[in-house]
Structure 1
Amino acid sequence: MGFWNSLKNGGLGKSGGLKGLGEELFERGAKVSKTVYENKKYMVTGPPKMIFDLESQRKVKKLCITPSYGSLVYCQLGPVEHTGIYIGDRRIVDLGGNGQIRISTLKSFTSHISTLDEDIWFPINRSNQTSIGIASSAERAYQMAINNSKRDYNILLDNCHQFSSGCISGDFENADNFLWTVKHTFEKSSGKDIEWVKWNWKNNF
Structure 2
Amino acid sequence: MGIKDFFSNAVDAVTDTAKSATDAIKYNSVVEYAVMVAKEKAFDAEMKTIETIEKATVIVEKAGDDPAILLNSAKYILTGALSGSIAPTVVSKYIATHYVANGLNNLSMRVNPIPGSIVYCNLFLNTEHSGVYIGNNKIVHLNKHGNIESVTPQEFISGTPANAIYVSCNNGDPVGSEVVAERARKFISSRRDYNLFFDNCHQFSASCLTGDPENRLTILTMLKLQSDITLDAKQWLHWDRRNW
TM-score (structure 2 length as normaliser): 0.56
Q: Which amino acid aligns with 1:78?
A: F
Q: Is the 8 A contact 1:72 1:84 kept in 2?
A: yes
Q: Which amino acid aligns with 2:199?
A: D
1:142 — aligned with what? 185
Task: Pick closer, same or farther for the CA change 1:105–1:185 going to 2, 3 Å.
Answer: same
Deviation sequence 1:17-70 (CA, Å, 0-9, x none): xxxxxxxxxxxxxxxxxxxxxxxxx8xxxxx9562763224321xxxx301110
Deviation sequence 1:126-170 (CA, Å, 0-9, x none): 2xx21100211110111110xx21000000000000000001110
Q: Which amino acid aligns with 1:123?
A: S
Q: How does 1:70-149 map to 2 (within 5 A)?
A: 70-79=116-125, 80-112=127-159, 115-126=160-171, 129-145=172-188, 148-149=189-190
Q: Distance in 1 between matches of 2:168 and 2:129?
A: 15
Q: Secondary structure at the match of 1:197?
A: strand
Q: Distance in 2 between matches of 1:104 and 1:204?
A: 15
Q: Is the 8 A contact 2:138 2:150 kept in 1?
A: yes
Aligned-residue offset at 1:77? 2.2
Deviation sequence 1:73-130 (CA, Å, 0-9, x none): 0001222200000011211000011110000111110012xx222200012112xx21
CA RMSD of aligned residues (A): 2.0
Q: Distance in 2 between matches of 1:57 and 1:196?
A: 10
Q: Which amino acid aligns with 1:91?
A: K
Aligned-residue offset at 1:204? 4.6
Mark the runs of 5 or more structure 1 residues left unpaired by the alignment.
1-41, 43-47
Of the three residues 219, 225, 230, the one matched with 1:178 is 219
Identity %: 36
Which structure shows the higher strand fraction?
1
Q: Distance in 2 between matches of 1:91 and 1:204?
A: 12
Q: Distance in 2 between matches of 1:164 and 1:134?
A: 13
Q: Distance in 1 between matches of 2:239 and 2:124?
A: 18
Task: Pick closer, same or farther for the CA change 1:164–1:142 going to 2, 3 Å.
Answer: same
Q: Which amino acid aligns with 2:133?
A: Y
Which structure shows the higher helix fraction?
2
Of the three residues 151, 155, 164, the one matched with 2:196 is 155
Q: Distance in 2 between matches of 1:157 and 1:178?
A: 9
Q: Which amino acid aligns with 1:105?
A: T
Of the three residues 202, 215, 228, the one matched with 1:187 is 228
Q: Secondary structure at the match of 2:176?
A: coil
Q: Is the 8 A contact 2:168 2:233 kept in 1?
A: no
Task: Pick closer, same or farther for the CA change 1:204–1:103 going to 2, 3 Å.
Answer: closer
